Amino acid sequence: MLFLLGRADDPNATYTGCPIVQSPPTSFERSWTSHFTLRRRNTVRNIPGPASPSWLFGNMLQLYLSPTYGDYEFDWQRIYGPFYRIKGCFGQDKLMISDPVSLQYILNSRHFKFGPSMENAIHLLYGIDSIMGVNEEDHKRIRAALSVGFTAAAVRDYIPVFEKAAQTLIEQLEESSGKSINICPLLSLATLSTISEVVLGYSTEDLGEEFMKNNFQILTIASSQSATQIVADAIGARLPGWVWRGAIHLPTATCKAIRTAKRLANELGNQVLREKREAAEQGLDINTDLYGRLLDLHRLDKTKNTLTEAEIVAQTAITMIAGQDTTANTLAFGLVELAKTPELQDNLRAEIHSTLRASDGGSVSYDNMPLLNAFIKESLRMFPAEAIGERTAVEDVVIPLTGSLTMTTGERISHVPVRKGQNLNLAMASYQRLESRWGEDAQEFKPSRWLDGPTFEGEAVGPYANLLNFLGGPRTCPGCDSITIGLCVTFTDSDHHVDGVSR
């Protein structure tokens, strides 16, 4: 016999007696193990979902290339509920999840990581040392360090930057002299200008022509989607990481653009830190932007949650690219909705004018404009920049549900067991149109829902207004507050100075 002296989880525990020879599993143990292994495998297969029109593409063309985003996805949610199965390329089972409890669990759990396509894209474009590329303790440390640039006081300091970018946008709109104008490139440029000033203390002119040209190349690549790309991503997801790292050196236009982006981001980050270091040595204040704050902390106290200069530089690509078109797209869709609703335009303008008059040329209290904030929340709810987030289970795990799920076999379950390697789609656009969460009018653009009392049912999932535009859990976007105040400033200034979006 072998006896344990101490707790089983105590590393100092000792054993005494004769060693035990492990006996082979009994027939009961074998059947028990087989039952649960089989259950995990069959559970996903028995989850209801739409039929697949193609073995090659599965439901992917319907999901990603529908005439209007959500044509199929929102119908699937209505038919099958917030947790259902679809087919990926080559017959792969994927889970579509908009269930609030499931989303909250996945976003806060260590049992999931970015899906292979997303993980490869992060490593190729942003680098393995970026905040999205690192995991666990390194991620916590970098996130804690970056928070110095997104405190309430820091965000208030950025307001003049937002106002300057909004004023430039207004001047560009006024130059159109009433002609039709594609506002999306202007919004994207305005957003890049804001990010550059807030993060680096640079104007877009300081970034240089090569950086600007490459930046818009990368945004075009990132936002493009085709049937060929869908299949290529599915194949790439099955390849080991070293293949992707080698593929970046291929002589294609896309690979060249990505290589250039990484080089320019590295050069830019090093240049900014060199200039700020020299300015600090001359006694100048460098605490005016994110990189200045990070470098100042690193110089003054290396024992706190500070980043090395190399780690600061490693954040350049993601800070300059990730938030650019996401914010610009929210602005664009918001303006489209304003154009559809003259009454909303008039009411919003009246609130803005009243608030500006009350400020009497002083600082504007954006929190005291309920309709403006409701309008921004509704724009974010209806038009999230990232409609789907890909995740993969890193071990066998059981996902909880808000209610119960009826399988194709008729069985009802309240938890879904999934196996290691299972691919999941966090259906964030679907979640933000979930009727059980937002009401029967969840498909309507209705800012007043945020003014009429409780907006949603259940516990909060996202960090801002219970929305998932900024994700949730440990990987919540650290710039959430600065983005929302930037949206407030841009809408306020543009609506105040420009007489109406085209009706």
Q: Give binding residues for heme as ranges.
A: 477
Rounded-to-integer distance, Cα 429 and Cα 381, Å: 8
Rounded-to-integer distance, Cα 251 and Cα 242, Å: 17
Annotated binding site: 477
Pairing of strands 14-17, 2-5: antiparallel
In the DSSP assignment, the letter for residue 473 is: G
The total of other beta-carbon atoms located within 10 Å of residue 4's CB is: 12
Rounded-to-integer distance, Cα 467 and Cα 384, Å: 9
Kindly state the tokens that stand for 372: 């403006």
Rounded-to-integer distance, Cα 235 and Cα 89, Å: 9
Rounded-to-integer distance, Cα 201 and Cα 422, Å: 43
Rounded-to-integer distance, Cα 125 and Cα 207, Å: 18
Kindly state the tokens that stand for 384: 């999230």
Kindly state the tokens that stand for 10: 């105590």
Kindly state the tokens that stand for 451: 């003014």
Kindly state the tokens that stand for 395: 């071990």
Non-local CB neighbours of 36 within 8 Å, separated by 6+ positions: 417
Write the single-letter amino acid at 491: F
Alpha-carbon dihedral angle through residues 197, 201, 203, 208, given to the nearest 10 degrees: -120
Percent helix, strand and coil across the chain, each to the nearest 5: 55, 10, 35
Per the CB < 8 A criterion, the answer to whether 186 and 175 are in contact is no
**Residue 291: Cβ-neighbour burial (10 angstroms; 0-12, 13-18, 19+):** buried
182 φ, ψ to 5°?
A: -80, 105
- DSSP of 51-108, one letter per residue? PPS-TTTTTHHHHHS-SSTTTTHHHHHHHH-SEEEEE-GGG-EEEEE--HHHHHHHHT
Collapsing DSSP states into helix, strand and coil, what is residue 177?
coil
Q: Which one, of 330, 336, 327, 392, lies nearest residue 92 by Cα?
A: 392
> Measured between alpha carbons, how far is residue 369 from residues 154, 315, 362, 375, 480 in Å?
21, 34, 16, 10, 19
Long-range residue pairs from 352-361, CB within 8 A, at least 24 positions apart, any chain = 352/492, 352/495, 352/496, 353/496, 355/492, 356/492, 356/496
Rounded-to-integer distance, Cα 59 and Cα 61, Å: 6
